[in-house]
């Protein structure tokens, strides 16, 4: 069994035995100072990352997993995207094997390499032990992620310090939207579309004029309401701004409330044994009784079971 101290053997493998011997020699020799040793290691990291200046080059070399999206502090600055080489997250502490490359998004859609990060999971080196060290700096705790961490701003100057977590010169201003942000944007666009379709009469005038089902309700899970279809759209199209169905819930006064939309693709167009269509980064599911792929989206009425779940406990046919 390898001792945990193996992970903390730093200097002999970082800068070579000759530098180590020099650093341990008497004060009146001409060996490098600690600052010179740090600068030498930083220079070696920059040489390593010379060929890793783009996301594509990094991925080809093994740094291919975005652990975080773009990370930014509201006051202290940013970190950018944390692009990991997962095989390195095994407890190793070596300045030439950074676990993370830090990339800042740019206005033109590219990403700039701005630094590196070294991490050791608490599962390998527990949080109550002495921290690992690199560049004569101890790692610090990140309890939220369950890791020891050390950021090193090798590529972009950090006025807060080379080894400080946040860099005021790094921003997420130009970060591409996350999947969650894209979903919310599409939902907003659907709500804008249906703003003028809030009644059965308005829906019919716009083309949604065929009640496919009557009011549909599950005895335990909730309801769906009436499925009011625009028949010309049931042609295989998959577009969030062209829902095949508007879902209307009946009310005691005889009116109907728009509560959501549904997207359907017939098996006759997209066979049941093929991969499902997708919208909002969600796969359609099969409805063998109706011989369709289907995706309900509760854009108008909150569904405690989930925005994309079939049945809505807040919808009733009473």
Q: What is the mean pLDDT of residues 253-266?
A: 97
DSSP 123-142: TTS-TTSPPPEETTEE-EEE
Residue 77 confidence (pLDDT) above 60: yes
Residue 11 confidence (pLDDT) above 60: no
Residue 311 confidence (pLDDT) above 90: yes
Of 27 and 133, the structure prediction assigns the larger pLDDT to 133
Under 8 Å between Cβ of 42 and 29 = no
Q: Is the pTM above the cut of 0.85?
A: no
Strand-pairing partners, residue 273, are none
Residue 267 confidence (pLDDT) above 60: yes
pLDDT tens digit sequence for 243-258: 999 999 999 999 999 9
Predicted pLDDT at 29:
61
Q: Is the dihedral angle over the CA atoms 246, 241, 314, 218 positive or is it negative?
A: positive
Under 8 Å between Cβ of 115 and 91 = no
Q: What is the mean pLDDT of residues 100-108?
A: 96
Predicted pLDDT at 175:
85
pLDDT tens digit sequence for 175-225: 888 888 899 999 999 999 999 999 999 999 999 999 998 999 999 999 999
Predicted pLDDT at 296:
98
Residue 166 confidence (pLDDT) above 70: yes
Band (pLDDT 50/70/90 cuts) for residue 23 is very low
Alpha carbon distance 239, 219 (integer Å): 31
DSSP strands (E only) in the chain: 65-73, 77-84, 100-105, 111-121, 133-134, 137-138, 140-142, 147-152, 210-218, 222-229, 245-250, 256-266, 278-279, 282-283, 285-287, 292-297
* % of the chain residues with pLDDT over 90: 87
Alpha carbon distance 51, 40 (integer Å): 19
Predicted pLDDT at 118:
98
Predicted pLDDT at 181:
87
Pairing of strands 77-84, 65-73: antiparallel
The overall average pLDDT reported for the chain is 91
Predicted pLDDT at 31:
84
Predicted pLDDT at 30:
76
Residue 16 confidence (pLDDT) above 80: no
- Mean pLDDT check: name the lowest of 15-24, 48-57, 200-209, 285-294: 15-24
């Amino acid at each position: 069994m390898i001792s945990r101290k193996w992970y903390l053997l730093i200097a002999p493998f970082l800068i070579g035995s000759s530098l180590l011997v020099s650093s341990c020699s008497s004060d009146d020799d001409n060996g490098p100072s600690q600052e010179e040793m740090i600068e030498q290691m930083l220079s070696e990291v920059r040489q390593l990352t010379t060929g890793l200046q783009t996301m594509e080059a990094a991925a080809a070399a093994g740094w291919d997993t975005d652990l975080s999206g773009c990370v930014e502090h509201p006051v202290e600055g940013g970190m950018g995207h944390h692009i990991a080489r997962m095989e390195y997250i095994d407890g190793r502490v070596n300045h030439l094997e950074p676990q993370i490359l830090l990339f800042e998004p740019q206005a033109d859609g590219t990403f700039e390499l701005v630094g590196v990060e070294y991490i050791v999971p608490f599962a390998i080196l527990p949080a109550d032990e002495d921290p690992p060290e690199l560049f004569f700096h101890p790692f610090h705790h990140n309890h939220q992620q369950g890791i020891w961490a050390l950021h090193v701003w090798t590529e972009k100057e950090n006025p807060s310090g080379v080894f400080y977590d946040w860099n005021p010169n790094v921003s997420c201003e130009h970060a591409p939207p996350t999947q969650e942000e894209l979903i919310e944007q599409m939902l907003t666009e659907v709500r804008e579309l249906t703003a003028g379709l809030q009644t059965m009469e308005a829906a019919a005038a716009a083309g949604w004029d065929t009640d496919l089902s009557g009011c549909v309700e599950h005895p335990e899970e909730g309801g769906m309401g009436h499925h009011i279809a625009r028949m010309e759209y049931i042609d295989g199209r998959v577009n969030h701004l062209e829902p095949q169905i508007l879902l209307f819930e009946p009310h005691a006064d005889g009116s109907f409330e728009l509560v959501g939309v549904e997207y359907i693709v017939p098996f006759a167009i997209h066979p049941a044994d093929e991969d499902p269509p997708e919208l909002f980064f969600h796969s359609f599911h099969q409805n063998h009784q109706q011989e369709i792929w289907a995706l309900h989206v509760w854009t108008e009425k909150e569904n405690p079971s989930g925005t994309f779940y079939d049945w809505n406990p807040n919808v009733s046919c009473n």
